[in-house]
Amino acid sequence: MTARMFRPLALLLLAAALFQTGCASLNPGPQGPSRWGAREKPVTHIVVCWLRNPKDLKAREQLLAQGREFRKLPGVLRIHAGECLPSNRPGVVSDFDLAFVMEFESEAALRAYENHPDHQRAVRELLRPLTARVQVFDFVRRD
């Protein structure tokens, strides 16, 4: 994918995440020190997946089910997961298969999640074998 094609995807995902986290800010989250340390800005983690076989419904469900399981891990505030909404609008990227938007208590919570054995196993046993491409975006909320 060229840089010109990547830019609309990045803007779309950023806009969606900002909208989602803007709405979430109506429900106050943790504001003081927590088990993860003093820095208490929530972090949003976006994972966009292109499946090796886009018609493989079992692979889709396996990945979505695993995403639901991650809600149980420490530091995870919320997870939204779903399939691409096709669009004919200019600048809208709609060639991916699945996307996950995850919100963590803090950067430290995200780092703990990345190293958690359940996450490592899912990457090794599901994500790598079932996807042709994965794009990740992380940002610190500033609202």
13-66 confidence digits (pLDDT tens): 444 444 444 444 333 344 445 554 555 899 999 999 999 999 999 999 999 999
User: In a 10 Å sphere around its CB, with 0-12 CB exposed, 13-18 middle and 19+ buried, how is residue 127 labelled?
Assistant: middle
The letter for the amino acid at 91 is G
pLDDT average, residue stretch 104-124? 97
Structure confidence at residue 41 (pLDDT): 93
Nearest partner of 14 among 68, 93, 89, judged by Cα: 93
Judge whether residue 12 has pLDDT over 60.
no
pLDDT in tens, 55-83: 999 999 999 999 999 999 999 999 999 99
> Is the Cβ–Cβ distance between 101 and 48 less than 8 Å?
no
Q: What CA–CA distance (Å, rounded) separates 122 from 102? A: 15
Nearest partner of 20 among 46, 40, 39, 50, judged by Cα: 46
> Is the Cβ–Cβ distance between 133 and 50 less than 8 Å?
yes
> Is the Cβ–Cβ distance between 60 and 97 less than 8 Å?
yes
Structure confidence at residue 29 (pLDDT): 44
- DSSP code for 118: H
H or E element in which residue 44 lies: strand 43-51
Report domain extents, the chain.
3-21+40-140
Architecture of domain 3-21+40-140: 2-Layer Sandwich (3.30)
Judge whether residue 11 has pLDDT over 50.
no
